[in-house]
C-alpha cells in the first residue's frame, strides 16, 4: 500500500521554541493531508485539513497562528507548533488519502510524532 512518512518520530523541546513536523507521501501525490493530535488514552482529534496550494482548513478550537500548516507540494505537508508550551505535548499524526476527493479512498497514516515540551 501507499506509504506516508512522518518525521521526526519524537522531539523534546524547551517551552517557547517552535517545532516543525514533516509529512511526506512517498509513492503517491497527496493534494489533501489531515493532521491529528492524540493525548494519552484518547482518540485521534482532527486538527486541520491541509490542501496543496491553498490555505489549510482548521477545526473549531484549533489556533491557526499556533499550529501553522504548509502544503507546498503534492508530496509534503508540514505542521509547525509555534511557541510550544507543555500543554502542547502530544502525539501528532498526519495522514493522506490515496485518491483525494473520493469518499471511498484509503487513508494512509504516518507513524506519528511524540512531542514533549519541557
* Binding residues for another protein (CB under 8 A): 1, 4, 6, 32, 34, 36, 43-46, 49, 91, 93, 95, 100-101, 103-104, 106-112, 114
Minimum Å distance from CB 88 to another protein?
18
C-alpha cell at 100: 483525494
Cβ proximity to another protein: between 58 and 82 the closer is 58
Nearer Cβ to another protein (32/75): 32
Q: Which is nearer to another protein, 19 or 93 (CB)?
A: 93
Q: Indicate the burial class of 51 (C-beta count within 10 angstroms; 0-12, 13-18, 19 or more).
A: middle
The CA distance from 55 to 90, in Å, is: 24
Amino acid at each position: 500500500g501507499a506509504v506516508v512518512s512522518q518525521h521526526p518520530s519524537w522531539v523534546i523541546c524547551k517551552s517557547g521554541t517552535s517545532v516543525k513536523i514533516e509529512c511526506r507521501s512517498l509513492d503517491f501525490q497527496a493534494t489533501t493531508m489531515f493532521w491529528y493530535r492524540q493525548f494519552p488514552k484518547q482518540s485521534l482529534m482532527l486538527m486541520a485539513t491541509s490542501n496543496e496550494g491553498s490555505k489549510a482548513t482548521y477545526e473549531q478550537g484549533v489556533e491557526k497562528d499556533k499550529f501553522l500548516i504548509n502544503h507546498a507540494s503534492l508530496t509534503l505537508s508540514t505542521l509547525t507548533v509555534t511557541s510550544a508550551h507543555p500543554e502542547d505535548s502530544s502525539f501528532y499524526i498526519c495522514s493522506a488519502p490515496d485518491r483525494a476527493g473520493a469518499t471511498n479512498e484509503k487513508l494512509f497514516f504516518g507513524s506519528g510524532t511524540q512531542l514533549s515540551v519541557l
